[in-house]
Amino acid sequence: MTLNESTENYLETILILNHRLGNVRSVDIANEMNFKKPSVSVAMKNLRENGYINVSPEGYIHLTEIGLEVAERIYERHTTLSNWLTTLGVDPRVAAEDACKMEHDMSIESFEAIKRHIKHMNGYS
């Protein structure tokens, strides 16, 4: 399965909901993302079949090691970019929307350069 923006968004949402709720079900994802339950069910089937999540008999969704790795990478990008844009004076809502667009297409090299720049500007080594 190729990692695309949709896949990354689902994994990131599962991570966020797991931190917020503890246990995550498809209905929680549908509510959070404003998607219909059948769409989320299809996506969860694809994520499960490709090894990104496990689903318990009770319907709880858990990220696998690789799913967690992808989710954490996307979440780090989102929070870093969103905070950076806000620091530059962008409205927080706009910054979050723009960060969501940027987080999926940015190269590792560019993202690492932005992180170094932020650390430098904040006086960290």
Q: Which residues contact 34 (CB under 8 A, 6 or more apart)?
A: none
- Structure confidence by residue, pLDDT tens digits, 57-92: 999 999 999 999 999 999 999 999 999 999 999 999
Flag whether pLDDT at 1 surpasses 70: no
Q: What domains lie within the chain, and their CATH numbers?
A: 5-69 (1.10.10.10), 75-121 (1.10.60.10)
pLDDT at site 105: 87
Residues 87, 89, 95, CA angle at the centre, nearest 5°?
80
Helix (H, G, I), strand (E, B) or coil at 36: coil
pLDDT at site 125: 53
pTM confidence score: 0.87
